[in-house]
Amino acid sequence: MPTNTISADNNQLQSFQGQNIIIIGGSSGIGLAAAKRAKDAGANLFLVSRNAERLRKAAEAIGGATQIVADIAAPPPAIFAGLDRIDHLLITAGSVNLQSLKDQSETDLAKVMHERLIGPLLAIKAALPLLHPASSITMTSGQFASRPAAIGAVVAAAVAAVESTVRALALELSPMRVNAVSPGWVDTPLLDGLMGEGKRQVLEQTASTLPSRNIGRPEDIAQAILFLMVNRYMTGEILHIDGGGRLV
């Protein structure tokens, strides 16, 4: 391995020592992979999600984290009570329920927008007094923003709205930096629910159509997230980590 790769990685590892990182959605998949990477790099982790038992297991798996039970669709105003500083706020929370518009009620549509957009904005608002000029916020969009599925219009709209929000907040909250990752297909528990028993076969078939010829791992997205947290010249950006999926 070339020396400069080692030193770049060491710089990234050193830069999280003692920092407070909140991960809303940190008990599984991409959020959990980011939590593990940040923990290994010396950060203090605060994991937020709805299920206390899953949070406990995730905290144990990464070697310790403060656990906060909350629903991002309706975050309690005091969600960050007890914290005195937030260095990086990451939001990966989100479920995907792809349905035709004809099958969706007004409540179904509103739920998606609350989980993906309104709730994250309220969480960011609640975090503002604890964030500082060198803090970063990282949100999560998704490939459906540019390559929608044949069903799930509101999911496509919600993730596209996240991308516009990131650009607007990068201006409003400057000099704090605000970015998003936009994952393509990533093999996480989310896809177990979406694809069921045929998941392995669907993913193999999907991989064969992608320019990268492989499916994302949670660690691939986590690496990009930590890059967005540390790079002081990166803001208002949507980083696509999708194996080139939006191009084909």
Ligand X SMILES: NC(=O)c1ccc[n+]([C@@H]2O[C@H](COP(=O)([O-])OP(=O)(O)OC[C@H]3O[C@@H](n4cnc5c(N)ncnc54)[C@H](OP(=O)(O)O)[C@@H]3O)[C@@H](O)[C@H]2O)c1
CB of 141 to ligand X, least distance (A): 7
Report residue 100 as tokens. 């035709």
Phi, psi of 58, deg, nearest 5 = -65, -45
Is 105 in the active site?
Answer: no
Q: 15, 67, 95, 99: which one contacts ligand X (CB under 6 A)?
A: 95
Q: 22, 34, 65, 72: which one contacts ligand X (CB under 6 A)?
A: 72
Instruction: Choose the stretch contacting ligand X; rule: CB under 6 A; options: 4-12, 48-56, 81-89, 204-212.
Output: 48-56
15 versus 214: smaller Cβ distance to ligand X: 214
Contact between 219 and ligand X (CB under 6 A)?
A: no
**Of 28, 141, 146, 182, which is the active-site residue?**
141
CB of 224 to ligand X, least distance (A): 12
Which one, of 206, 199, 104, 192, lies nearest residue 155 by Cα? 104
Distance, in Å, from the CA atom of 19 to the CA atom of 182, rounded to the nearest integer, reads: 24
Distance, in Å, from the CA atom of 81 to the CA atom of 142, rounded to the nearest integer, reads: 30
How is residue 25 annotated by DSSP? T
Contact between 73 and ligand X (CB under 6 A)?
A: yes
How is residue 182 annotated by DSSP? E
Tell me if 180 sits within 8 A of 220, measured CB to CB. no
Q: 16, 19, 22, 30: which one contacts ligand X (CB under 6 A)?
A: 30
How is residue 232 annotated by DSSP? T
| Catalytic residue list | 141
Residues that bind ligand X in the complex, under the rule CB under 6 A: 25, 27-31, 49-51, 54, 71-73, 92-96, 115, 140, 142-143, 183, 185-186, 188-191
